[in-house]
Structure 1
């Protein structure tokens, strides 16, 4: 499994260290057994230091997931080939993000042990990282439309359609993998699906 463990940048503040400690706790024992007290212990600070930053674990988890998924998205975008046509770059970024999320150790751990943490972002509301993905995708759609590579239409609606399609390939692809269909084949189908949905 590919590890996308967060490595703080030089000069990163103490908050990143606290999030690193929370990440390590969740990887070790899962969300339900992780407490702010344990995060403080692992971070080598007092409980009050953590409580001054986050009043409860859901707030901390929200910030941790936003940081984690944002890093995944930015890495996928950075891996795009600037020589490719705009629509191909867009599709490659989406599929790369889907693949990276499925392999991300924190995401896998949450889905394995505490899948209910993901449900609000699928059934009730969007999260900050989803809005980030939508903003990036919307701008990519607009650029590809300007280049004549993506069909006319509301770029926000097109971006949201792409995200909805991608959700299934992130969360449910494993249920469709067996001795007849590989994960790589499913990713190829996602590539075809998004490309054909966007091209004029």
Structure 2
């Protein structure tokens, strides 16, 4: 017998999977709750019971994808070089995530909120993870002294800017060069 909790998780997963499929098929701006509901095989009220509107569905989808990438790239231990390698790997995966990049490049009304106005849930997860890694690196001696959360926020800004603007500088920096320059920037910023 399937529990109600597992059933609810399954419905939410189907809705988010359907939202991702719609974003890839139609683009963010043309994705509708009606189409998400059809693909997920649920009613629109089922979606509205979980999220107030499509922006919240997309925000939840992005949070899960970004946090999932952080979990998928293992922590290689304490120290600046290990932390920077992980940040660069997560950034590389995010640049390759079609859904995330579609939102960044094709839905400026959604993306701009998280670029200029406020930290989203996924960004806060990343800042917290970076702050812990920075504290570990400070204890180990490979990261300079300073407020770990402030430094983590700056690392997020550097990395987020690199992800957002990678397409713009693709003729100057291919993916490998972009990763190397991001690592150099972060290492330089964090070095004691």
Q: Post-superposition shift, 1:130?
A: 0.3
* Residue 93 of structure 1, aligned match among 86, 91, 95: 86
- 1:103 is aligned, of 96, 103, 109, to 96
Distance 1:14 1:177 in 2: 39
CA displacement 1:76-123 (0-9 Å, x = unmatched): 2x1x434xx621111011111111111101012223422332111111
Whole-angstrom distance in 2 between the partners of 1:65 and 1:126: 13
2:181 equivalent in structure 1: 189
Q: What CA RMSD, in Å, does the superposition of the two structures yield over aligned residues?
A: 1.7
- Corresponding residue for residue 114 of structure 1: 107
- TM-score, L = length of structure 2: 0.90
Alignment deviations for residues 1-32 of structure 1 (CA, whole Å, 9 cap, x no partner)? xxxxxxxxx98532111111111111110122
Matching of residue 18 in structure 1 with residue 15 in structure 2: yes
Could you say what secondary structure the match of 2:29 adopts? coil
Question: Where in structure 2 are the equivalents of 1:144-163 lying within 5 Å?
Answer: 144-163=137-156
Say which structure is richer in helix: 2
2:30 alignment partner in structure 1: 33
> Is the 2:70–2:90 contact (alpha carbons within 8 Å) kept by the matching residues of 1?
yes
Query: How far off is 1:55 after superposition?
Result: 2.2
Q: 1:14 to 1:181 in 2, by over 3 A?
A: closer
Structure 1 residues 93 and 39: CA distance shift in structure 2, 3 A: same
Structure 2: any 5+ residue segments left out of the alignment?
1-5
Which residue does 1:199 correspond to in 2? 191
Q: What residue is the counterpart of 1:58 in the other structure?
A: 55
Contact 2:24/2:99 (<8 A) preserved: yes
Contact 1:31-1:114 within 8 A present in 2 as well = yes
| Alignment partner of 1:46 is 2:39 | no
Q: How far apart are the structure 1 equivalents of 2:41 and 2:118? A: 35
Contact 2:76 2:83 in 1 (8 A): no
Instruction: Count how many residue pairs are aligned between Structure 1 and Structure 2.
Output: 186
Is the partner of 1:176 in helix, strand or coil? coil
Output the CA distance in 2 between the equivalents of 1:60 and 1:133: 20
